[in-house]
Structure 1
Amino acid sequence: MTQKQTVVIIGGGPAGLTAAWELMKDGGADAYDVTVLEATREFGGISRTVKHNGNRMDIGGHRFFSKDDRIMQWWRDTLPLQGAPSYDDRKLGRHHDLEPGGPDPETCDEVMLKRHRVSRIYWNRHFFDYPISLSPNTLKAMGPKLTLEAGFSYLKSMVHKLPEDNLENFYINRFGRKLYSMFFEGYTEKLWGRHPSQISADWGAQRVKGLSITEVLKNAFLKLLPKKQDSSKVETSLIEEFWYPKYGPGQLWETVERNCEQAGVHVITDANVVQVRQGNGRIESVVYEDCEGNRTELKADQFISSMPVKDLVNALDAGSGAASVPADMSEIANGLPYRDFVTVGLLVKHLKLRNTTDIPTLGNPPIVPDCWIYVQDPGYKVGRLQIFNNWSPYLVKDVDDTVWIGLEYFCEEGDAFWSMSDEEARDFAIQELTRMRVINGPQDVIDSHRERVKKAYPAYFDTYSHMDELVEYLDSFGNLYCVGRNGQHRYNNMDHSMATAMEAVGNIKTGKTSKKNVWSVNTEQSYHESK
């Protein structure tokens, strides 16, 4: 009998758990001995679901949609698609194509729902389509003067292209200077704490991808045609239907973790990796610390890391007697910036906002149909609102008579907003929602919960421009694979994080030494624009 290969995976988020399952499925337990080290007691990273007094909160909002068929199949293998209408669709007579023989979400918990995506932009007390479009509603909200300005500004941007050496120019080239100044400039600065002119265009290339006014118009025209359009040809930001676990994204990752344990994976929680020991150009072991300060060393043949690059490099330097990290690599890693994140959940009796769309919704009066509302108005600190009732009716304990809202704030760990007490954060959020005319005031609020998330968004400035040098250094350790959003310091969606793990596991199984495929997920244009 051949000896098993030992693999240590750092992190129990989407990338780490995907790697564990990819190694163990289809009898992988005969070939691999896998250990997952998770620093907390929860699974899913920022794709976890927070439970509070019978209501559930999705950290950041996670649409289950991918242009990668492997990922879509992987999700439906984990949680099967619904075969009967969900509570709200049944009550409201809303239609989705149902899966023959699929579970009924009213009687079964392990089920993936199909959901309609509705997202809008809130600006100057008006709602605009998200992504921004030239619909009659947009033109009416902007008025004739602004519409003409935006139109001529866009035409100018088509003729006069700016060098795409920063995010500001990237946006102006696609939307024109007027729309950029209205909808992108202030919001981007709110999100990152930096002006777009200081941020690498890489971020836009990754998140906005092929989206532009031209794409928006093309998509609007396709909608008028009777032929059903192929979702692989539509930009991700324009996708109008997505899958969603009955109890939020954390449910999927808790299911994957359970499947991994049943397949033989050793999962250790409260395991904070503090040292990564190296020798002879390889990683030899990791040392983790539990919540009582006890340290344990784990040796392995292969290491997959989804911990933040900054922490990984510092852990490499923390080993006693080991070769130290070169000073320039340490400087790049410690200069990598992050944006942290606070969500304030408010449970309210009803919304002051009225549903003026033709989409039927629950509530009395019916609530607005949005999953997300992007607050691109610079007069507010909140960046985005989530209405959890619309993601899944099962996230809300009393979905007919209460509305569960998440207010997302971008900040720096330790700054004034991060350091607020729970009560101060709640009062601040209530004040903003009241000013926005979303609720009447504090009298509408029944309950609240504040959740802080460190290193939610890897940022594209400061030493990020030297990231390729750090990648080369980390790849020099033949048995180390960096995966996931923080593991690669890349603003990946969940499906991209999963794909990096799949590529890494593929390399381990085949003995492939180049890791270019692991790092090139979500960088190739072909990956974005077609399946």
Structure 2
Amino acid sequence: MDYGTPRNAFSSSHTTGAMEVDVVIVGAGPAGLTAGYQLTKAGKTVAIIEQDPTYVGGISRTVEHEGYRFDIGGHRFFSKSQAVVDLWNEILPDDFIQRPRMSRIYYEGKFYSYPLRAFEALSNLGVLRSTACMASYLWRRAFPIKDVRSFEDWTTNQFGEKLYSIFFKTYTEKVWGMPCNEMSADWAAQRIKGLSLMGAVVDGLKRSLGLNKRPNDGQAVKTLLETFRYPRLGPGMMWDAARDKIIASGKGVVLMGHSLDRLASDGQGGWSMTANGPDGKIQIRAAHAISSAPMRELAKRIHPLPATTLEASKLRYRDFLTVALMIDSEDLFPDNWIYIHDSKVKVGRVQNFRSWSPEMVPDPKVACVGLEYFCFEGDGLWSAPDDELVELAKREMEILGLVDPKKVIGGAVVRQEKAYPVYDEDYAANVAAMRHELEERFPTLHLVGRNGMHRYNNQDHAMMTAMLTAENILAGKRLYDTWCVNEDAEYHEAGDEGAETGLPAREAAETRPLTDDQVAALTSLRGVPERLSTEVEQDRQQRKSA
């Protein structure tokens, strides 16, 4: 179905009435803006709605307060996908800077490298505790938990009970607000995969003898990145540029302060969307709909209502807030961020914004840090007044010995809803139920991004789901299974940037089948799916027509 060109000229101020476009997109985060950029570049008309009245980028936005810029969550621009790297360079060609990478764990007054370097960790823990850790590790390797269901099961098998309790349990339960034995093992397998305690110990011994110069990260063949690229004014700079290019193309509009009210099938394969904006409702008709909105929220707003809405309603999300402190000090520590594995304080992670980019902090005599508190929307932390949260952050930085509260000269609070999709024991079945129903009933509705797919993806993974979705729309058929992105991930910051080849040219995908070399190139990319086989596609068509 082709609705043709929009009724009205596109502009960011077009907020009332009705319009017709090729594709309507919910959410102006990395996935939504990537899809919009790729589609408008190919000549398609798009309308993007974003509920935030000010910022695009979602959790990747950069918030500004009195000249200070805050990265909400911390975003290193690193990807193994050359296609993603090329897109970053295309959207923001002149504003990347190269920054040193440093993250550590804070535990009982000492710092530990992150990712965990086991030889260093055992050394810092002392003889008695490190001996207990190694004994615990060897015991669990000899007698592993066989029915691995939870994060606790998986991590204990990998590291033993002692190291699990020191370096994983406290922080993980702060982040997710639930016991580790109730969390799915999927999250651990996705985020910690490839780290080996014994490998790290052996590497550390070799290193101490001068036999090994590689970083002691416990990964037998992978190299941890030492530097990364970063937009000089924060990650929001990337997504501001993407928005501007979409609008400048004359093919797209980005409607700020607009939230999804209803997404209705028109019965002919297309969609009619109603969005609530500051000036009332707006209606958008489109041949395709792309959603990066939380799956749970989308399920409530689709018409006809999916049969799996009940399953989707059980999906949970973790929120967080950042308390930024401006401190009368040139700098505090060199880390991009520090993970706080200490039960005496509520803070989970501390960012140092100048270490991300010196231009994030306007005064060279002032340090600016962001304390991240993980919470649920509406709980005590989330609902606390900003001034109380600033005082809490000052007290906790003093407890940790990182900042003298008397040197704090200012503070600000930024709240982020639905930052992390929760991996509880039922999430996979609930996601699968809704995914399969939507694929069967609504082939022109596409789910992308972290919340749209309820998958704890990194920024480049979210972008890749959108890039492949755009390819599917442009080709007029499902060339790629986007759900395979990051399905078998390795540690995100190991390996070389752009080491794996990216997507084929759009013209090749549209006009002829991929060559064997193109298929091989695509499937070499970590987490990038193979093209669906002819048999799979035929089976899908048969089931659809049945």
Q: TM-score range by the shorter chain?
A: 0.7 to 0.9
Q: Deviations 1:440-461 (Å, cap 9, x if unpaired)?
A: 22x1111100001110111011
1:119 to 2:103 alignment? yes
Secondary structure, aligned partner of 1:486? helix
**What is the Cα deviation at residue 227 of structure 1?**
8.6
Q: Is the 8 A contact 1:10 1:36 kept in 2?
A: yes
Secondary structure, aligned partner of 2:156? helix
Mean alpha-carbon deviation: is it higher for 519-528 or for 334-343? 519-528
Picking from 61, 67, 71, the partner of 1:58 is 71
Q: Distance in 2 between matches of 1:144 and 1:386?
A: 31
Number of the residue aligned with 1:452 = 415
**What is the Cα deviation at residue 219 of structure 1?**
6.9
Picking from 402, 406, 411, the partner of 2:370 is 406
1:345 to 2:343 alignment? no
**What is the Cα deviation at residue 284 of structure 1?**
2.0
Secondary structure, aligned partner of 1:406? strand
Picking from 131, 135, 142, the partner of 1:148 is 131
**What is the Cα deviation at residue 212 of structure 1?**
2.9
**What is the Cα deviation at residue 156 of structure 1?**
2.3
Residue identity opposite 1:513 in structure 2: R
Number of the residue aligned with 2:30 = 14
Aligned residues, how many?
468
Residue identity opposite 2:347 in structure 1: V
Q: Is the 8 A contact 1:281 1:478 kept in 2?
A: no
Q: Deviations 1:419-453 (Å, cap 9, x if unpaired)?
A: 10010100111111011111122x11111000011
- Taking structure 1 as reference, are residues 346 and 228 closer, same or farther at Cα in structure 2, changes over 3 Å only? closer
Mean alpha-carbon deviation: is it higher for 282-291 or for 338-347? 282-291
Picking from 39, 46, 60, the partner of 1:47 is 60
1:33 to 2:12 alignment? no
1:267 to 2:254 alignment? yes
Q: Is the 8 A contact 1:425 1:450 kept in 2?
A: yes
**What is the Cα deviation at residue 242 of structure 1?**
1.1
Q: Distance in 1 between matches of 2:199 and 2:66?
A: 43
Alignment of 1:454-473 (within 5 A): 454-461=417-424, 463-466=426-429, 467-473=431-437
Residue identity opposite 2:143 in structure 1: H
**What is the Cα deviation at residue 166 of structure 1?**
1.1
**What is the Cα deviation at residue 35 of structure 1?**
1.3
**What is the Cα deviation at residue 346 of structure 1?**
0.2
Q: Distance in 1 between matches of 2:425 and 2:158?
A: 25
1:432 to 2:382 alignment? no
Secondary structure, aligned partner of 1:417? helix
Alignment of 1:133-212 (within 5 A): 133-136=117-120, 138-162=121-145, 163-212=147-196
Q: Is the 8 A contact 2:107 2:340 kept in 1?
A: yes
Secondary structure, aligned partner of 1:267? strand
Alpha-carbon RMSD across the aligned residues, in angstroms, is 2.4
**What is the Cα deviation at residue 524 of structure 1?**
2.5
Alignment of 1:256-405 (within 5 A): 256-264=242-250, 265-280=252-267, 282-292=269-279, 294-317=280-303, 323-326=304-307, 329-350=308-329, 363=330, 367-399=332-364, 401-405=365-369
Q: Distance in 2 between matches of 1:463 and 1:284?
A: 30
Secondary structure, aligned partner of 1:469? helix
Q: Deviations 1:298-328 (Å, cap 9, x if unpaired)?
A: 11111111011111110115xxxxx3332xx
**What is the Cα deviation at residue 217 of structure 1?**
5.0
Secondary structure, aligned partner of 2:380? coil
Q: Deviations 1:83-124 (Å, cap 9, x if unpaired)?
A: xxxxxxxxxxxxxxxxxxxxxxxxxxx410111111110111
Q: Is the 8 A contact 2:190 2:489 kept in 1?
A: no
Residue identity opposite 1:35 in structure 2: A
- Taking structure 1 as reference, are residues 226 and 429 closer, same or farther at Cα in structure 2, changes over 3 Å only? closer
1:75 to 2:88 alignment? yes
**What is the Cα deviation at residue 182 of structure 1?**
0.7
Q: Distance in 2 between matches of 1:279 and 1:78?
A: 34
Number of the residue aligned with 1:520 = 484
Picking from 405, 423, 443, the partner of 1:478 is 443
Q: Is the 8 A contact 1:335 1:462 kept in 2?
A: no
Q: Distance in 1 between matches of 2:397 and 2:284?
A: 49
Secondary structure, aligned partner of 1:164? coil
Secondary structure, aligned partner of 1:380? coil
Q: Is the 8 A contact 1:39 1:271 kept in 2?
A: yes
Q: Distance in 2 between matches of 1:148 and 1:214?
A: 14
Secondary structure, aligned partner of 1:190? helix
Runs of 4+ in 1 over 3 A off after TM superposition: 2-5, 214-229, 232-236, 279-283, 525-531
- Taking structure 1 as reference, are residues 525 and 422 closer, same or farther at Cα in structure 2, changes over 3 Å only? closer
Q: Is the 8 A contact 2:266 2:272 kept in 1?
A: no
TM-score under structure 1 length normalisation: 0.83
1:129 to 2:128 alignment? no
Q: Deviations 1:388-433 (Å, cap 9, x if unpaired)?
A: 111111100113x111000000001000111100101001111110
Q: Is the 8 A contact 2:119 2:200 kept in 1?
A: no
**What is the Cα deviation at residue 210 of structure 1?**
1.9
Q: Distance in 1 between matches of 2:404 and 2:211?
A: 39
Number of the residue aligned with 2:227 = 241
Residue identity opposite 1:129 in structure 2: S
Q: Distance in 1 between matches of 2:286 and 2:198?
A: 51
Q: Distance in 2 between matches of 1:74 and 1:489?
A: 24
Q: Is the 8 A contact 1:285 1:299 kept in 2?
A: yes
Q: Deviations 1:56-92 (Å, cap 9, x if unpaired)?
A: 0000000111111111121122223xxxxxxxxxxxx
Picking from 414, 423, 429, the partner of 2:387 is 423
Q: Distance in 2 between matches of 1:527 and 1:402?
A: 34
**What is the Cα deviation at residue 475 of structure 1?**
1.5
Q: Is the 8 A contact 1:282 1:480 kept in 2?
A: no
Q: Is the 8 A contact 1:157 1:173 kept in 2?
A: yes
**What is the Cα deviation at residue 234 of structure 1?**
6.5
Which consecutive unaligned segments of at least 5 residues does structure 2 have? 6-20, 501-546
Q: Distance in 2 between matches of 1:215 and 1:335?
A: 39
Q: Distance in 2 between matches of 1:219 and 1:523?
A: 28
Picking from 468, 472, 475, the partner of 1:507 is 472
Q: Is the 8 A contact 2:194 2:491 kept in 1?
A: no
Q: Is the 8 A contact 1:305 1:480 kept in 2?
A: yes
Number of the residue aligned with 2:517 = none
- Taking structure 1 as reference, are residues 187 and 527 closer, same or farther at Cα in structure 2, changes over 3 Å only? closer
Q: Distance in 2 between matches of 1:242 and 1:438?
A: 25
Number of the residue aligned with 1:107 = none
Q: Is the 8 A contact 2:190 2:490 kept in 1?
A: no
Secondary structure, aligned partner of 1:204? helix
